[in-house]
């Protein structure tokens, strides 16, 4: 699966998730076989990665990718019990526009803080003058 859009812990940032889904049929599944067992496997992976990504802050995407590699690399049985699924070649990243915005954010915050400080410094003599006529 490639570039699946996932929510992050911040609603204004979204992740793009890609991986290769691997799967094996479970011999113990009862009933008729599923016509798309690969879709069951993909669903099992997406369920877990969606839950995990929703708790990750955008600035922690690279760290979260390694956590996902560890978690999704272990086989899990899908909710129907028909397939075991795991993921390989896991990539979690921000969309390019979001990544650029995230890189600019600290600079904007510093600029805003320094502007506020400059404004306070400029007002200080006025405030002192008001206190001591």
Distances (CA, A) of 87 to 10, 34, 51, 70, 81: 25, 20, 15, 9, 17
pLDDT band at 115 (very low <50, low <70, confident <90, very high): low
Does 18 lie in the same domain as 66?
yes
- Kindly report the length of the chain: 133
Whether residues 64 and 120 share a domain: the answer is no
Reported as a single tens digit per residue, the pLDDT across 25-60 is 987 666 667 889 999 999 999 999 999 999 999 999
Q: pLDDT tens-digit profile of 87-107?
A: 999 999 998 988 888 888 655
In the chain, at which residue ranges do the beta strands (DSSP E only) sit? 4-7, 14-25, 76-77, 83-94
d(CA 68, CA 62): 10
Do residues 36 and 88 both lie within one domain?
A: yes
Whole-number Å distance between alpha carbons of 43 and 55: 19
With CA atoms as reference, report the closest residue to 71 among 55, 56, 94, 90. Answer: 90
**30 and 79 share one domain:** yes
What is the torsional sign of CA 67, 88, 59, 43?
Answer: negative
> Does residue 33 sit in the same domain as residue 65?
yes
Domain interval for residue 124: 97-133
If one counts the domains in the chain, the total is 2
Whether residue 84 sits in one domain with residue 34: yes
Same domain (yes/no): 65, 40:
yes
Same domain, 112 and 78: no
Q: Are residues 104 and 130 in the same domain?
A: yes
40 in the same domain as 22: yes
pTM, full prediction: 0.73
Co-location of 62 and 110 in the same domain: no
Band (86; pLDDT cuts 50, 70, 90): very high
């Amino acid at each position: 699966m490639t570039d699946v859009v996932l929510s992050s812990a911040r609603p204004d940032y979204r992740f793009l998730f890609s991986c290769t889904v691997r799967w094996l049929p479970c011999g113990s599944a009862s009933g008729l076989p599923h016509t798309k067992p690969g879709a069951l496997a993909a669903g099992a992976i997406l369920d877990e990665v969606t839950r995990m990504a929703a708790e990750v802050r955008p600035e922690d995407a690279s760290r979260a990718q390694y956590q996902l590699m560890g978690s999704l690399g272990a086989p899990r049985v899908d909710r129907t019990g028909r397939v075991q699924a795991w993921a390989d070649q896991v990539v979690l990243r921000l969309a390019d526009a979001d990544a650029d915005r995230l890189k600019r954010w600290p600079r904007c915050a510093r600029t805003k803080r320094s502007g506020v400080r400059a404004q306070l410094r400029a007002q200080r003599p006025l405030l002192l003058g008001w206190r001591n006529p």
